[in-house]
Amino acid sequence: MTVQNIRFDVSTNELILLDQTLLPHEARYVTIETLEEAEHAIETLQVRGAPAIAYFGAFVLAKEAERLVDDPDFTRRLEIVGRRLIATRPTAVNLQNVIESLLELNSGDDFEQIAGEIKRRAVALYERDVDTYRSIGEHALTVLPSGGNVLTICNAGAIATSRYGTALAPFYVGKERGVTFNVFACETRPLLQGARLTVWELDQADIDVTLITDNMAAWTIQAKGVDAIIVGADRITRTGHVANKIGTLQLAVLANHYGIPFYVAAPHSTFDLMADDAIEIEERDAKEVTHIGGQPTAPVGITVFNPAFDVTPPELITGLITEAGVFEANETAITHHVGGTIHV
Ligand code: MRU
């Protein structure tokens, strides 16, 4: 059993988060009471990973809807809550997809019924998606070489989803079936999701994992004979462009150079069929680059560029792996497999 990242009590609306900023040193759960605390939790990455912030946002919307049921201005105020949640992280589309879909319920004057339905769907989504990630893992196992060396970046694991993860799903599902892999995890500067989270959760599950710094990727592929690269995604467009953690693009370029497959694993809620190659990239505080673990590592006041994500073009992607299977990153295949299925 993997670690649970979010707990929501349907009878009391108590919302509890595993604070991912404290990992791996401390597995502390924090209670989220207000909308402001929820926004802060997403912005500071206490909860992170495109699917996980969407589940969290859905629970916050459900909680706020119930709080507002006696307010005559319910409809407008709930819409504002949804918009504020969506604005917290602009690149990951799951949050937007899920909140917009829940806000479609926000019409009419039976506020209690609307709040109840939002809560029911939020809970169902978190539970149902366990099967989604399991399917992603199963499909990934059909293309990854058993016993092989597989490189990943950031954390697209159990704590970024509702279980199993996306890019890490084949390692968990493989473990259940006796299929092993040697996983190489890039540490993922600036916020070290690889070092702090991926290595931690795989190690907890007794899955073989080796940590490298980001600038060791090319040499590791060459020296250790990496067979494949698999990553998660924050937004996949109609044209097959993939936004994911900064550093993903350079891994795709390396995979191309070394002639190894480069896979992107994500649920259908990560697709944005309205978008092409123009994706808004979140830029974060310079301090994430000038400091490590709160300690300064660069001259004070130095100019910094800190994009949280990059965009990998479809020609560098061997295959997209979703709950529907493995298919090419092009508009025809995406429309065929994903079109019409993005609903919550
Ligand atoms: O900034 P983060 O830690 O939220 O970035 C997360 C990623 O880039 C993941 O690869 C992506 O959200 C997929 S998680 C299943």
The C-alpha atoms of residue 285 and residue 307 are separated, in whole angstroms, by 9
Structure confidence at residue 38 (pLDDT)? 98
**Is the C-beta atom of 49 inside 6 A of ligand 1?**
yes
Ligand 1 mutation target, pool 48, 159, 282, most atoms within 8 A of CB: 48
Arithmetic mean of pLDDT, 176-197: 98
pLDDT surpasses 60 at 1: no
Structure confidence at residue 342 (pLDDT)? 63
For 302-320, how does the pLDDT look when each residue is reduced to its tens digit (9 = 90+)? 999 999 999 999 999 999 9
Q: Please report, rounded to a whole number, the percentage of residues in the chain having pLDDT higher than 90.
A: 96
The C-alpha atoms of residue 21 and residue 44 are separated, in whole angstroms, by 8
Q: What is the DSSP string of 249-308?
A: HHHHHHHHHHT--EEEE--GGGEETT--S-----B--THHHHEETTEE-S-TT-----BS
The closest of 123, 22, 23, 19 to 66, measured between CA atoms, is 123
The C-alpha atoms of residue 10 and residue 31 are separated, in whole angstroms, by 14
Tokens standing for residue 179: 């299929």
**Is the C-beta atom of 209 inside 6 A of ligand 1?**
no
pLDDT surpasses 90 at 293: no
Measured in Å, residue 52 CA sits from the centre of ligand 1 at 9
Ligand 1 mutation target, pool 193, 246, 249, most atoms within 8 A of CB: 193
Annotated binding site: 48-50, 89, 193, 244-245
- Counting atoms of ligand 1 from 1, which one is nearest the CA of 92? 12
- Counting atoms of ligand 1 from 1, which one is nearest the CA of 231? 10
Structure confidence at residue 340 (pLDDT)? 77
**Is the C-beta atom of 308 inside 6 A of ligand 1?**
yes
**Is the C-beta atom of 88 inside 6 A of ligand 1?**
no
- Counting atoms of ligand 1 from 1, which one is nearest the CA of 48? 4
Catalytic residue numbers read 234
Measured in Å, residue 244 CA sits from the centre of ligand 1 at 7
Atom 15 of ligand 1: nearest residue by CA position: 156
pLDDT surpasses 80 at 233: yes
**Is the C-beta atom of 54 inside 6 A of ligand 1?**
no
Arithmetic mean of pLDDT, 294-299: 95
Structure confidence at residue 177 (pLDDT)? 96
What separation in angstroms does the CA of 256 have from each of 250, 262, 309, 334, 342? 10, 8, 20, 22, 30
List the alpha helices (DSSP H) in the chain. Answer: 35-43, 50-68, 74-86, 93-103, 111-141, 169-177, 193, 199-204, 217-224, 248-258, 287-290, 331-338
Annotated binding site for substrate: 48-50, 89, 193, 244-245
Atom 8 of ligand 1: nearest residue by CA position: 245
Structure confidence at residue 339 (pLDDT)? 87
Measured in Å, residue 153 CA sits from the centre of ligand 1 at 9
Q: Where residue 281 falls among pLDDT bands split at 50, 70, 90?
A: very high
Strands 6-8 and 209-212: unpaired
The pLDDT mean for the chain works out to: 96
**Is the C-beta atom of 198 inside 6 A of ligand 1?**
no
For 47-60, how does the pLDDT look when each residue is reduced to its tens digit (9 = 90+)? 999 999 999 999 99
- Counting atoms of ligand 1 from 1, which one is nearest the CA of 266? 15
pLDDT surpasses 60 at 292: yes
Is residue 63 within 8 A of residue 53, CB to CB? The reply is no
**Is the C-beta atom of 154 inside 6 A of ligand 1?**
yes
